[in-house]
Amino acid sequence: KATDPSMSEQDWSAIQNFCEQVNTDPNGPTHAPWLLAHKIQSPQEKEALYALTVLEMCMNHCGEKFHSEVAKFRFLNELIKVLSPKYLGSWATEKVKGRVIEILFSWTVWFPEDIKIRDAYQMLKKQGIIKQDPKLPVDKILPPPSPWPKSSIFDADEEKSKLLTRLLKSNHPEDLQAAVLKVAVVYVITPF
């Protein structure tokens, strides 16, 4: 549904559901990029553009495993095929090719640590497939993902942290059970 070309507008709830599926399925982060690559290479312009939007959403909301799968040459080559006249570039629409270029360029800006993305983009420039860096349209390119919290939720509350530490170090089984319950309650109550 997230890439359905029969829809007049992109279904944002379907995109959200797709992202949730990627995040909950253990194989989601490795399989989803390939499902999207197939759709991005679609001869139907709308389907390809919708798939590119889903790809951007997933890069921002589906975690490190998804991100690292997309940042591999194996996946990047699927995007390059859309641009290259040797592959799909001769029949892909200018709009689709333009969006692929915008996305690749935005990733070089937002994810400078991903050398393979930068290398793929630079190779396309050297080959003359990309003539110049695009201007990033604010209404289409999503902002970079917000950083994942690196610290425990207990770090914010020093009193709870000390209590949890004391309970975990105790030799009494009831203290360990109390610690497990505290973690479980915080895990269930804390929104992500």
Give the end of a domain, one of 110, 134, 158: 134
Residue 39 resides in a domain: yes
Total domains in the fold of the chain: 2
Instruction: Quote the pTM value.
Output: 0.71
pLDDT at residue 149 is higher than 90: no
- C-alpha closest to that of 121 among 100, 151, 142: 100
**77 and 49 belong to one structural domain:** yes
Give the end of a domain, one of 108, 134, 160: 134
SS3 for 21?
Answer: helix
What pLDDT, in 10s, does the model give residues 83-114?
A: 999 999 889 999 999 999 999 999 999 899 99
Please, is 125 exposed, middle or buried when counting C-beta atoms within 10 Å of its C-beta (0-12, 13-18, 19+)?
Answer: middle
Q: What CATH number did the domain enclosing 185 receive?
A: 1.20.5
Dump the DSSP string for 66-79.
Answer: HHHHHTSHHHHHHH
What pLDDT, in 10s, does the model give residues 44-88?
A: 999 999 999 999 999 999 999 999 999 999 999 999 999 999 999
**182 and 102 belong to one structural domain:** no
Residue 110 resides in a domain: yes
**103 and 181 belong to one structural domain:** no
Long-range contacts of 25-32 (CB under 8 A, 24+ apart): 28/62, 28/66, 29/62, 29/63, 29/65, 29/66, 29/69, 30/65, 30/69, 32/58, 32/62, 32/66
Give the tokens for residue 114: 């991903």
Q: What CATH number did the domain enclosing 82 receive?
A: 1.25.40.90
Residue 4 resides in a domain: no
Domain with 163, as residue range(s), is 148-191
Residue 143 resides in a domain: no
What pLDDT, in 10s, does the model give residues 155-174?
A: 456 666 666 666 566 676 67
Sign of the torsion angle spanned by Cα atoms 143, 155, 192, 54 = positive
Element (H, E) at 192: none
pLDDT recorded at residue 151: 41
pLDDT at residue 191 is higher than 70: no
Residue 157 resides in a domain: yes
**111 and 154 belong to one structural domain:** no
**120 and 160 belong to one structural domain:** no
**17 and 102 belong to one structural domain:** yes
Residue 66 resides in a domain: yes
Residue 6 resides in a domain: no
